[in-house]
């Protein structure tokens, strides 16, 4: 049986990745600082470990027979939406650099054959709405909009360097905004799709919701099942270097908000208010990931409908206490 370690298995994408690997017939160990908040983990084994500590990385990577894993998926990170990233820049730089340095170093030293690192399109500079797509190599010369993006760029290089030195096969995806059920939806770490779903679910029919910015920022939102499928294909491909992973359906924040409102069936007014919105536009080439036959199967409307239903149920449950 192929063995896989999923770091960050108590989180949103890591939790969904564990399910995917189990469906593919793997033996899976999940590791995180905390258990999954929204669903019992489907991992065969789940260890609570702080991966900023190299001893804990070694423990995470050691199987009971003393060997190590066939595949390691590194998704653990101190992260959240723009609200979190803008106030926690020291924590983001410090904690994520430690996790990524110690995990890549320890995995390479222990002889892990295949290692996946979850990067982000936050490594790219800001763009104008009508600019042609940027390809992976256009991340350099670098000018990320925030410290989270700078750390991801550094960690990509760390991971590739350890891969070269120790002969470890490294695969890197730069995720675009990912959304879906069983992710943070309240508490400050939630990202835009979840925050908007929550606000719409909480407000009375006919009420108003505040949305940060002016609605013109342009993004691609990728449903979590599609993203996890992309991670799996990339891990088993021969694509070297970072690969953009996200769909082609570019929408403004105003269009995202409108989709949520339509799905909810409520009549709601939108008040745009000042807040941390991040870059103005995103547009990346998907040629590399598409070369693996990957394309998203879930439209924004369908994905938002599934996410809204889940968040609406969470809101109802939290009101019942």
Q: Which is nearer to ligand NAD, 37 or 255 (CB)?
A: 37
Regarding 177 and contact with ligand NAD (CB under 6 A), the answer is yes
Distance CA 59, CA 254 (A): 46
Cα 33 to Cα 46, 137, 304, 312: the distances in Å are 10, 33, 29, 27
- Near ligand NAD by CB under 6 A, which window of 4-12, 20-28, 126-134, 300-308? 4-12
Nearest to 271 by CA among 205, 186, 213, 187: 213
Secondary structure of residue 129 in the 3-state scheme? coil
Q: Which residues ranging from 91 to 110 are in contact with ligand NAD (CB under 6 A)?
A: 95, 99
Q: Looking at 148, 162, 232, 308, which residue is catalytic?
A: 148
Q: Which is nearer to ligand NAD, 14 or 242 (CB)?
A: 14
Smallest gap, in angstroms, from Cβ of residue 182 to ligand NAD?
9
Instruction: Reply yes or no on whether 154 is catalytic.
Output: no
Smallest gap, in angstroms, from Cβ of residue 217 to ligand NAD?
15
Residues 6 or more apart whose Cβ sits within 8 Å of residue 33: 10, 48, 49, 50, 51, 76
Regarding 8 and contact with ligand NAD (CB under 6 A), the answer is yes
**Cβ-closest position to ligand NAD:** 11
Beta bridge partner(s), residue 247: none
Regarding 77 and contact with ligand NAD (CB under 6 A), the answer is yes
- Interface residue with ligand NAD, options 28, 51, 170, 298 (CB under 6 A): 51
- Interaction pattern, residues 183-212, with ligand NAD; x per rule: CB under 6 A: xx------x---------------------
Nearest to 72 by CA among 281, 207, 235, 291: 235
Backbone angles phi, psi at 33, to 5 degrees: -70, -25
- Interaction pattern, residues 108-147, with ligand NAD; x per rule: CB under 6 A: ----------x-x---------------------------
- Interface residue with ligand NAD, options 20, 52, 282, 288 (CB under 6 A): 52
Distance CA 64, CA 45 (A): 11
Nearest to 116 by CA among 166, 173, 198: 173
Nearest to 97 by CA among 179, 158, 139: 158
Smallest gap, in angstroms, from Cβ of residue 118 to ligand NAD?
4
- Interface residue with ligand NAD, options 11, 149, 230, 296 (CB under 6 A): 11
Regarding 13 and contact with ligand NAD (CB under 6 A), the answer is yes
Distance CA 28, CA 20 (A): 10
Please name the helix (run of DSSP H) or strand (run of DSSP E) that holds residue 4, with its range, or none.
strand 3-7
Distance CA 118, CA 214 (A): 30
Regarding 181 and contact with ligand NAD (CB under 6 A), the answer is no
- Interface residue with ligand NAD, options 21, 61, 160, 178 (CB under 6 A): 178
Q: Which residues ranging from 228 to 267 are in contact with ligand NAD (CB under 6 A)?
A: none
Token pair 């298995």: residue: 9
Interface positions with ligand NAD (CB under 6 A): 8, 10-14, 32-34, 50-52, 75-79, 95, 99, 118, 120, 175, 177-178, 183-184, 191
* Active site residues per annotation: 148
């Amino acid at each position: 049986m192929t063995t896989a370690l999923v770091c960050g298995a108590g989180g949103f994408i890591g939790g969904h990745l564990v399910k995917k690997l189990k469906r593919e017939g793997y033996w899976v160990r999940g590791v995180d600082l905390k258990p999954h908040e929204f669903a019992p983990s489907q991992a065969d084994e789940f260890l609570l470990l702080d991966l900023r500590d190299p001893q804990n990385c070694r423990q995470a990577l050691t199987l009971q027979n003393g060997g190590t894993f066939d595949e390691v998926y590194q998704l653990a990170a101190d992260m959240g939406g723009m609200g979190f990233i803008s106030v926690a820049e020291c924590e983001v730089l410090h904690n994520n650099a430690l996790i990524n340095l110690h995990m890549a170093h320890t995995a390479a030293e222990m002889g892990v054959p295949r290692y996946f690192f979850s990067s982000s399109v936050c490594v790219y500079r800001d763009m104008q709405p009508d600019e042609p797509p940027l390809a992976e190599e256009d991340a350099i010369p670098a000018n990320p909009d925030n410290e989270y993006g700078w750390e991801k760029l550094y960690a990509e290089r760390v991971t590739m360097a350890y891969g070269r030195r120790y002969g470890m096969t490294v695969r890197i995806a730069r995720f675009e905004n990912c959304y879906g059920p069983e992710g943070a939806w309240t508490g400050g770490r939630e990202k835009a799709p979840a925050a908007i779903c929550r606000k719409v679910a909480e407000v009375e029919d006919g009420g108003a919701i505040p949305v940060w910015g002016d609605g013109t920022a342009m993004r691609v939102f990728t449903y979590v099942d599609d993203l996890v499928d992309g991670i799996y294909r990339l891990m088993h491909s021969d694509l070297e270097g970072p690969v953009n992973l996200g769909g082609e359906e570019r929408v403004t924040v105003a269009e995202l908000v409108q989709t949520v409102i339509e799905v909810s069936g409520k009549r709601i007014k939108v008040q745009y208010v000042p807040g941390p919105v991040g870059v103005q536009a995103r547009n990346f080439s998907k040629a590399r990931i598409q070369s693996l036959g990957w394309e998203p199967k879930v439209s924004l409307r369908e994905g938002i409908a599934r996410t809204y239903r889940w968040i609406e149920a969470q809101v109802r449950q939290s009101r019942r206490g």
